[in-house]
Structure formats: C-alpha cells, structure tokens
Amino acid sequence: MHVAMIGTGYVGLVSGACFSEFGTDVICVDKDASKIERLEQGIMPIYEPGLDLLVENNVKAGRLHFTTDLKKGVKDADVVFIAVGTPTRRGDGHADLSYVYAAAEEIAEAMDGFTVIVTKSTVPVGTGREVERIIRAKRPDAEFAVVSNPEFLREGSAIGDFMRPDRVVIGTSNERARAVMSDLYRPLYLIETPIVFTTRETSEMIKYAANTFLAAKITFINEIADLCEKVGADVHDVARGIGLDGRIGKKFLHPGPGYGGSCFPKDTLALVRTAQEHNSPLRIIETVVSVNDRRKKAMADRIIAACGGSVEGKTIGILGLAFKPNTDDMRDSPSLDVVPALLAAGATVRAYDPEAMEEAAKLLDGLTFCESAFETIEGADAMVILTEWNEFRGLNLKRVKAALKSPVVVDLRNVYEPREMKENGFEYSCIGRGAIG
C-alpha cells in the first residue's frame, strides 16, 4: 500500500511517520520547500517528542519519503490524505477551506488508478462532498472515493495518540474505500482500537462535536474555579470529586488561563458558524467562545492585581509561552494575550519557553527572551507560570525566592501547592484554590 500525505505539519508529519512505522510506504508532500529541505536533512520543522527518531528510523528503512512535488507523490498512491491547515477565515469565523480545495484540484490532476482521497484535516460537514465534486469535475472518468477520517491526536503526545488512539473514525459509504481504509488501519486494531465506520457527514460532525465538547468542559471548570475563589472552595478537590463520577470523567477538568492552540479556538468558531447558517444555533458553544476569549484577556489583570494593582515600571518573568507543554505551537496561545497586555500596562517582560521561543518571536515583540527559568526571573517583581512544562513544576523554591526582587508568584497552571508556597514566604496566587491560599 502506498500513501501520500499532503501537508507535512503537526498532523501530516506525525501521521505519515506513524503509518510508515507500521510498514506502509509513505510520501509526505508539502509546498513549503524549506520544510521539506529540513526534513531531508533530518531536521524536524516542528517540536514533537520522539518524532525525530521515528522519522530517522523510517527514512533509513526506506519507507518514508519527502517531496514538494505533489504529482510525484500522488501518482503511485493508493491513499492520498489531505492534512493541510484549515485556519479561521478572516472576518467571519468559518473554516478557511482554500488549502483543502487547492489540494483537491492538484490531486485530481495527478491521481492514477483507483485512489482513496481522505480528508484528515478538520473540515466542516459537507466538505467531503465538495472535494468529491471538485475532483469529479476535473476527472469525470476517474475511479476514486473521498473519505472522511478526522484526526484526534494531541500535540505533545501525538505519536502515542496516533498509535494507540481511543478510536478511529472513518466516514464513507463506498465499500471499496472502506476495505482500503480497514487495511491501512489494521495494525492499530490488532491492539483493539475501536473503529467507528459511519457516513462522511457524520464523521465530519464527530470531530467538531468532540472538540467543542472538550472546549466546553475546560471552560466549565474554569468558571467553576473562579466561583471557588469567591466562595472559598478548592477547585482541585471539586474536579476530583466530580471527575470520579464515570458519567463526567477525570480528564479536561484542570483549570487554567483559557484554552488555546491550533484547534479548539478555530473549531469552536467554525461549528458556531455552521450552526448559525443552518438556523440551529449552538448557544452553549457560542458562550464557550466568548467566555474563553474574555478569560484569556483577563489573565493579565490577574497578574497586575497580584503585583499590587500596577505593573508600570515592573519586571515580569514569564515561564512558558506555548499553549501547552511539549510543543512549540504558539497558535492562539494565552501568552499572545497576556504578554502584549502587560507591555501595554508598562511592564518589562522577560520570558522563557523550552521549545516555543522561535515561534513566539514571530508573533510577539517588545519582550526579552531568556535562556532559562532562573535567568528569566532574576531581579523580577513577579514570576508568572503560563505553561506547565515539566522543568517549571519542581523549581527550587529557595532559589526562586532569592532570584525574585519581590516574592510574587502567579501560577496560572496550578503547578504549586498554595500552602507550601505560603510557608516559603511567597505571595502566591493560582486559579480556583481560594480556600487554601
């Protein structure tokens, strides 16, 4: 079986490398020549734990290839995945499908023999139908099927997620395509991965329903956390107390500065737009979107309040810029709201992130990037934890206290124990743990 992966980003590169690990011949295509050049030199264009070794091994084994030449990649492929970006379209919140449709046009010109074209990108309901129409218009006689197969991997644990997914969703009514997809994913269901076969529209809907549900769950616990602060309750115990209920589940109940990243913000917006267009509004998700936007903006106010009401002329040391640990992805990260707001309020901002500073430098200016956590907080008026990288979770507190000008710590990821911080002489604020503060 030959697979072509169009788009070699977080999803395409990981999926391509994982399929090749299972013995499939994979060619990853990207129109970004610098990405392909780096990959050919063994340099990863993104940070994802374990990816460099996985790519290296499969390139060496002759199963994983890279090219900028889509035609070359698609010509011999039995399965062609579209894994290009679907960012928010400027102005209206819809998913921008221009990359998907452009890829479909190019695939149509290049494919040869029965080809299964799979949308792995997150795309609104009806996109598969449109991809099929585009290809059919160009190649009326071609034998092909367009399948939906959304991806659920998480950045930071993408390889494990891909290889041991909770489920695989495949949307198609074409029997031949179903057989090809079953074959491709067979190595996964050896380890009992449930495969949900359904229609293309349903499959497209499942991805959005999953992401918007998770965004709602995060937003729910964030608001509960805020209320906990007001009433003197501890949100960690609340999360545990409710999460042990099997109907609720333990995951995604960790409060923080609001969700970010390349998926939840754009996917919530896109589903809200789809729902409005179909006159079937999703009021809950509309509210989730606006609550989360406000929350990210309000985080700077928390920091300013912790600094006594003003950061004018003060230095703030920020630990973590990526939207979550173990990734260099800065898309819609809370730091993109927090840093400019602190700068606008007159603060000097120093920051450190183990992997995301190169990306951050493209999106943020006016701050100083540092080489380590301790360099960042040396002489600062406050330390702010924005991303819970492992290396920020067990900092030597005596050293932290000695480094800071004043012992103010704002922990937006609840990494530390309020009681311990207090005992160590910090003015410590976190999220939703008012009872212990």
Residues involved in catalysis: 263
Q: Of these, 4, 17, 35, 341, which contacts ligand NAD (CB under 6 A)?
A: 35
Size of the site for ligand NAD (CB under 6 A): 28
Q: Of these, 16, 85, 128, 418, which contacts ligand NAD (CB under 6 A)?
A: 85
User: Per CB under 6 A, which of residues 11..30 are in contact with ligand NAD?
Assistant: 11-12, 29-30
The residue with tokens 């805020």 is 226
Question: Applying CB under 6 A, which part among 132-140, 149-157, 226-234, 246-254 lies near ligand NAD?
Answer: 149-157
Q: Which two tokens stand for residue 149?
A: 């197969």
Considering the complex, state which of residue 43 and residue 244 has its C-beta at the smaller distance from ligand NAD: 43
Burial letters for 91-108: b for 16+ Cβ neighbours within 10 Å, e otherwise?
Answer: eebbbbbebbbebbebbb
CB of 216 to ligand NAD, least distance (A): 18
Considering the complex, state which of residue 106 and residue 388 has its C-beta at the smaller distance from ligand NAD: 106
Q: Of these, 26, 84, 118, 225, which contacts ligand NAD (CB under 6 A)?
A: 84
Considering the complex, state which of residue 101 and residue 374 has its C-beta at the smaller distance from ligand NAD: 101
Q: Which two tokens stand for residue 105?
A: 């046009």
Beta bridge mates, 148: 119, 171
CA–CA distance, 6 with 411 (Å, rounded to integer): 40
User: Per CB under 6 A, which of residues 198..257 are in contact with ligand NAD?
Assistant: none
Answer for the pair 207, 197: CB distance below 8 angstroms, yes or no. Answer: no
Answer for the pair 327, 298: CB distance below 8 angstroms, yes or no. Answer: no
Q: Of these, 1, 44, 59, 102, which contacts ligand NAD (CB under 6 A)?
A: 102
Element (DSSP H or E) covering residue 117:
strand 115-119
Q: Is residue 409 within the footprint of ligand NAD (CB under 6 A)?
A: no
Q: Is residue 332 within the footprint of ligand NAD (CB under 6 A)?
A: no
Instruction: Using alpha carbons, list the distances in angstroms from residue 118 to 36, 144, 262.
Output: 22, 11, 21
Number of Cβ within a 10 Å radius of residue 51:
19
CA–CA distance, 167 with 251 (Å, rounded to integer): 17
Name the residue number minimizing CB distance to ligand NAD.
9
Number of Cβ within a 10 Å radius of residue 253:
21
CB of 76 to ligand NAD, least distance (A): 17
CB of 377 to ligand NAD, least distance (A): 30
For residue 122, say whether it is annotated as part of any ligand binding site: yes
User: Per CB under 6 A, which of residues 254..273 are in contact with ligand NAD?
Assistant: 262-263
Q: Which of 33, 111, 97 is nearest to 69 (CA)?
A: 33
Considering the complex, state which of residue 7 and residue 260 has its C-beta at the smaller distance from ligand NAD: 7
CB of 329 to ligand NAD, least distance (A): 7
Sign of CA dihedral 244, 248, 249, 251: negative
CA–CA distance, 353 with 364 (Å, rounded to integer): 13
Q: Is residue 32 within the footprint of ligand NAD (CB under 6 A)?
A: yes
Residues in touch with ligand NAD (CB under 6 A): 6-12, 29-32, 35, 70, 83-86, 99, 102-103, 106, 121-122, 151, 153, 155, 262-263
